[in-house]
Amino acid sequence: MRTALAALAAIPLLASPAQADLAERIDTIFAASTGWFVNLIFSDLPGTGVPWIVGWLVIGALVFTFYFGFIQVRAFGHALQIVRGKYSDPRDAGEVSPFQALTAALSGTVGLGNIAGVAVAVSIGGAGATFWMILAGLLGMATKFTECTLGVKYRNEYPDGSVSGGPMYYIKKGFAERGLPLGGFMAVMFSIFCVLGALGGGNMFQANQAASQVDSVLGVPTWITGLVLSGIVFLVIIGGIKSIARVTEKVVPFMGGGYVIVGMAILFLNWDMIGWAFSEIIRGAFTDTGIIGGMVGAIIQGFRRAAFSNEAGIGSAAIAHSAVRTKEPVSEGFVSLLEPFIDTVVICTMTALVIIITQQLLIDANTGMYILSDNGRIETATGAGAGVPLTSAAFGSAFSWAPYALSLAVFLFAFSTMITWSYYGVKAWTYMFGEGETKELVFKLIFCFFIFVGAVTSLDAVIDFSDAALFSMAIFNIIALYFLMPIVKRELNSYLLRLKSGQIKAFK
């Protein structure tokens, strides 16, 4: 605890008048030190303009979709029934319900990816990116099913009743069970990237977008938001003030619902444009609308955002789901396959439609092509930059109060995603260094520091690093999923048989 206090005392020092300089310096150092890593992860497949990592995720999702016979379609109805509690034994009440498992995992994924990430995707890839994003979301459901089933099956249960699970555990134990080599090595590699992903996408990207939104709407400098955010997160994850997290967990789902409702209202107000918006999406998906990279550019942006937003294949949700006590790993997998659907197919699509329908992206009336600015992004109607400001401008064009509500939502989404990812990060950290309070404290202090760094760093540097770190988790996770998917299939077939025979029975 003493180290924690020392760190707290150091925070006001960072807030000295020299902070603007410091922010710039941090930005430069950050961009310079992460550039090589980003380039490696996003290097193109030889002879194409497609980053290999995007292909990696999509091919994975396709393989799982076919291998499990379109499980996302077959099990969709059953998954909804499980979440409604139809198969929950009333005697087990008081344990985590399927609904709670779903919402806890969603609080880590529904966040700025849905608001800011989508805006970035359409501002580079045009309306057509939406189509590919939805497709990637639908395919990702099969990946999520695979990883979460394994997460539950191979978790560690401790005598005190607590549970640790996630890709690092199923990689190690699953590989050992199948007699495959390198399980331990891959599990550690995954954990390293999970820690980086927690600091990147789960932290800096969130802090960055929250700070820039608060700056653009309320005029508060980013370093202040950075300090406030890292202070609150510090209080929650180190100070143990759980009540803040508890309040957020209760507010965030309503914010998510409110976001969708406001989005629907805007679509409803522009109902005559809905047909046009969809035709724009289809046109952009299959033809060149003048964006960088043409149609392939739209595909890349759509897939990239979907993967970043719903985290299918990344392995993070498997950590959250493995903590749930259930007799059936497969039923947890079914619950989890709803996440990419809610996250990407519903919420992300809502953002994209609102941006398209309020005509934020400027199209040359003569050629039907998007008008590009110097940096390769599509010019926007209000000149708003990509990310949250664009979404904010789109919502603001319909309701003048929307940007303020959005600022609050962005702040809360960012906060809840950070809390969830700090948990993922801790799990990966303790997998590598062993369980222990001091070890957890070290990681949590690093985590709080990176919130500040993320808030003051420029968007491009942060977004690239966040994506790179998250996608690196997918490298090892998906290799493992390929090797372990026969185990999932066995579990799935046994589950479906027992469901049919009535051995798994409904209680309602």
C-beta of 228 vs 252, nearer to another protein = 252
C-beta of 105 vs 409, nearer to another protein = 105
On whether the CB atoms of residues 504 and 498 are closer than 8 A, the answer is yes
What type of residue sits at position 33? Answer: S
Nearest to 171 by CA among 364, 431, 374, 375: 431
Q: How far is the CB of 96 from another protein (least distance, A)?
A: 5
Q: How far is the CB of 326 from another protein (least distance, A)?
A: 11
Q: In Å, what is the CA distance from 195 to each residue of 32, 228, 426?
A: 20, 23, 8
Concatenate the DSSP letters of all residues of 218-248 into one string.
Answer: H---HHHHHHHHHHHHHHHHTS--HHHHHHH
C-beta of 51 vs 151, nearer to another protein = 151
On whether the CB atoms of residues 310 and 144 are closer than 8 A, the answer is yes
C-beta of 303 vs 443, nearer to another protein = 443
332-360 core/surface letters (b: 16 or more CB in 10 A; e: else):
bbbbbbbbbbbbbbbbbbbbbbbbbbbbb
Q: Where do the DSSP E strands lie in 126-195?
A: 156-157, 163-164
On whether the CB atoms of residues 362 and 380 are closer than 8 A, the answer is yes
C-beta of 130 vs 248, nearer to another protein = 248
Burial class (CB in 10 A: 0-12, 13-18, 19+), 243: exposed
Q: In sequence order, what are the residues at sequence separation of 6 or more whose Cβ sits closer than 8 angstroms to the Cβ of residue 199?
A: 425, 446, 447, 450, 469
On whether the CB atoms of residues 458 and 300 are closer than 8 A, the answer is no
User: Which residue is associated with the tokens 């000149």?
Assistant: 383
Nearest to 285 by CA among 133, 131, 438: 131
161-192 core/surface letters (b: 16 or more CB in 10 A; e: else):
eeebbbbbbbbbbbbeeeeeeebeebbbbbbb
Q: How far is the CB of 320 from another protein (least distance, A)?
A: 5
C-beta of 136 vs 152, nearer to another protein = 152
C-beta of 165 vs 396, nearer to another protein = 165
List residues near another protein by CB under 8 A.
85, 88, 90-91, 93-101, 103-105, 107-108, 160-163, 242, 245-246, 248-250, 252-253, 319-320, 323-325, 416, 419-420, 423-424
C-beta of 212 vs 326, nearer to another protein = 326
On whether the CB atoms of residues 353 and 267 are closer than 8 A, the answer is yes
Q: How far is the CB of 85 from another protein (least distance, A)?
A: 6
C-beta of 207 vs 426, nearer to another protein = 426
Q: How far is the CB of 84 from another protein (least distance, A)?
A: 9
Q: How far is the CB of 91 from another protein (least distance, A)?
A: 7
Q: How far is the CB of 480 from another protein (least distance, A)?
A: 22
Q: How far is the CB of 176 from another protein (least distance, A)?
A: 24
Nearest to 152 by CA among 416, 425, 336: 336
Q: How far is the CB of 178 from another protein (least distance, A)?
A: 27
